[in-house]
Structure 1
Amino acid sequence: MRRKILKKSAHQSCGQPCFHRPPGLPFVEARSAADSQACYRPHAHAEWSIGTVDAGHSRFSVAGAEYRLGPGDLVLLPPGLVHACNPEERAAWSYRMLYLDAAWMRDFLAGSPAAAALAEQPWRIVGDAVAYRHFGDTFAAVNETTSANHFADCLGQLLTALAGQPLKTPATASVPAGIAAVRDWLDAHCDETIPLAELAAIAGLSRYQLIRRFVRHTGMTPHAYQLDRRIQRARRLLAAGAPICDTALAVGFADQSHFHRSFRERVAATPGQYGRRR
């Protein structure tokens, strides 16, 4: 089956990311990049993420393993899962992403055929032409600013196709209570300065034990996790139109250059590029 790849839009220059947040679909954000060599640090999203490779190859790191993705491959990630997806060395790739609000997805999945499969194993890698076609239809529904019902129809078909594929990925291990408590505390207080000793006390571990176990179960250190949560919050503020300087201060960055660097490392775009509407 021949795959149809969406052409680069007039708003998207070579290698630069393009973001689209249609007013009629406030629970979804679309991202695309063509011929990009931008790289990400390990990071997570507050939303569900669905993405596909349109051209080139990338190295996808998640749950302590690395996978090589190529044209037509798709990934589905639940909120909070640490990962990184970067082009192969000295190469470029083209990709598209959809980010879906977690609360909206919870309601949308309730009672759906895909719900049970995704509850058993929410993250997965799929290489299937039918699923790729459904992704293209869903992505187009966002960028054409169609009705919410049409978007939901397309997304439902996509999720059913993704959930129906045989698993190629190991089951996700549960997180110990102490590590989960630290993670939840960082989620609630990401904009504050929190001593490592305080986090260790919450977990009932030494500082050294906390760092080792937190990395094992989340894929990043407590400090990196806190920075990642700050950037997630910054994305929401910028998407709502907040000024960059105000956003940096609101999420806990006193140094603007540190904010710009941390944002770009995790979003592969500058705050200005991300906040720009089209």
Structure 2
Amino acid sequence: MHTEHIDYWHHPGLAGIALSQADLRQFSFDKHVHLDYHLGVVTRGGQRFIHRGSSYRLGQQGISTLNPDETHDGQSLGEEGYHVKVMSLPYSMMQALSGELGLGLVHFQAPMVEDPQLYQYFIRLHWLLTQGHCSNLAAQTHLLNFVQLTLQRHLGGPLRQASRASGLSESQLALCKQQFHDEPWQNYQLETLAAEVGLSKFQFLRQFKHSTGITPHAYLKRLRLEYAKKSLMRGDRVGQVAQQVGFFDQSHFNKAFKQAFLVSPRQFQQRML
């Protein structure tokens, strides 16, 4: 019987970087966002995902290039399932490296690219960092070489924002998101959030979803889980993390974390420390 499975790793020489690989068939990733850049490849089967309203198919030779805070989902293309390898790269690291290269703000123009050479490079790098037991210096060198090549080949210009005639304005959306990022633990009220941008709660709910692809509740819940992953990687206690990010109790936190990442918070932390 096929078992849905995700493994997580952290190389000691690469602070803040998370690596994972998964064998999935029935499991689907709901619409969500990330705090970091997510690069990934499929080595068996194929993955279908929706990004900014368009459908994409990720198979062999392609690399997903997902920017932070962009709503997307993910599921298998066929009944046979798929094998995927992913690398999560911190926002600050990517901006610093891009600045050194004179490339400006890192923003991938497309959520995936077809690049057979880079695809093979990613697979070798992922294996080296998760299975190869390489030194810190070797890990840092190979990673920087890969990121530099990726940025030089595929970094686009500023992404043109989609029309938000029926959604929140740029300033309204930024205000709401900033609150969520600054205080993810808060027990927000829909009426309060709506009033702060001059809308009724029904207008706010509809326009937030139009702008982001998910409801305010779903967006905040995912942010809480993303910040929880970072706290767990720092070694914070699971019960403490649940409280820090605003879950009602540890049981609710464990259930939400496993639904999103297929492992418990404690299992994730054991792999990342």
**If the length of structure 1 is used for normalisation, what is the TM-score?**
0.83
Are residues 100 and 226 of structure 1, via their aligned partners in 2, closer, same or farther at CA, if it must alter by over 3 Å? same
Determine which of 76, 95, 112 is the counterpart of 1:125. 112
SS at match of 2:55: strand
Question: What residue number does 1:219 align with?
Answer: 213
Are residues 141 and 152 of structure 1, via their aligned partners in 2, closer, same or farther at CA, if it must alter by over 3 Å? farther
Whether the aligned pair in 2 keeps the contact of 1:214 and 1:222 (CA below 8 Å) is yes
Cα displacement (A) at 1:158: 2.9
Cα deviation per residue 1:71-108 (whole Å; 9 max; x = unaligned)? 23211111111111122364421001111111111101
Structure 2: tracts of 5 or more residues without a match? 164-168
The CA distance in 2 between the partners of 1:150 and 1:252, in whole Å, is: 37
Matched, 1:266 2:240: no
Q: What's the C-alpha RMSD, in Å, of the aligned pairs?
A: 2.5
Question: What residue number does 1:196 align with?
Answer: 190
Question: What residue number does 1:230 align with?
Answer: 224
Letter in 2 for 1:125: M
Matched, 1:69 2:35: no
Whether the aligned pair in 2 keeps the contact of 1:130 and 1:161 (CA below 8 Å) is no
Question: What residue number does 2:146 align with?
Answer: 154
Cα displacement (A) at 1:172: 4.2
**If the length of structure 2 is used for normalisation, what is the TM-score?**
0.85
Cα displacement (A) at 1:225: 1.1
SS at match of 2:236: coil
Are residues 104 and 66 of structure 1, via their aligned partners in 2, closer, same or farther at CA, if it must alter by over 3 Å? same
Cα deviation per residue 1:113-132 (whole Å; 9 max; x = unaligned)? 7547x54x544311221120
Question: What residue number does 1:247 align with?
Answer: 241
Aligned counterparts, 1:136-215, within 5 A = 136-143=123-130, 144=132, 145-146=134-135, 147=137, 148-163=140-155, 171-173=160-162, 176-215=170-209
Are residues 37 and 114 of structure 1, via their aligned partners in 2, closer, same or farther at CA, if it must alter by over 3 Å? farther
SS at match of 2:32: coil
SS at match of 2:254: helix
Question: What residue number does 1:257 align with?
Answer: 251
Cα deviation per residue 1:199-246 (whole Å; 9 max; x = unaligned)? 002222111111111111111111111111110111111222223222
Cα displacement (A) at 1:25: 0.7
The CA distance in 1 between the partners of 2:120 and 2:155, in whole Å, is: 15
Determine which of 93, 97, 104 is the counterpart of 2:82. 93
Whether the aligned pair in 1 keeps the contact of 2:98 and 2:151 (CA below 8 Å) is no
Whether the aligned pair in 2 keeps the contact of 1:238 and 1:275 (CA below 8 Å) is yes
Number of residue-to-residue matches in the alignment: 260
Whether the aligned pair in 2 keeps the contact of 1:179 and 1:213 (CA below 8 Å) is no
The CA distance in 2 between the partners of 1:244 and 1:89, in whole Å, is: 36
Cα displacement (A) at 1:173: 2.6
The CA distance in 2 between the partners of 1:113 and 1:70, in whole Å, is: 32
Whether the aligned pair in 1 keeps the contact of 2:58 and 2:64 (CA below 8 Å) is no
Are residues 67 and 154 of structure 1, via their aligned partners in 2, closer, same or farther at CA, if it must alter by over 3 Å? closer
Are residues 180 and 239 of structure 1, via their aligned partners in 2, closer, same or farther at CA, if it must alter by over 3 Å? same
Structure 1: tracts of 5 or more residues without a match? 1-12
Same amino acid, percent of matched pairs: 25
The CA distance in 2 between the partners of 1:99 and 1:244, in whole Å, is: 21
Letter in 1 for 2:253: F
Q: Tell me which moved more, 121-130 or 244-253.
A: 121-130
Matched, 1:48 2:40: no
Following superposition, which runs of at least 4 residues in structure 1 exceed 6 angstroms of deviation? none
Cα displacement (A) at 1:139: 2.1
Cα displacement (A) at 1:111: 4.6
Letter in 1 for 2:111: R
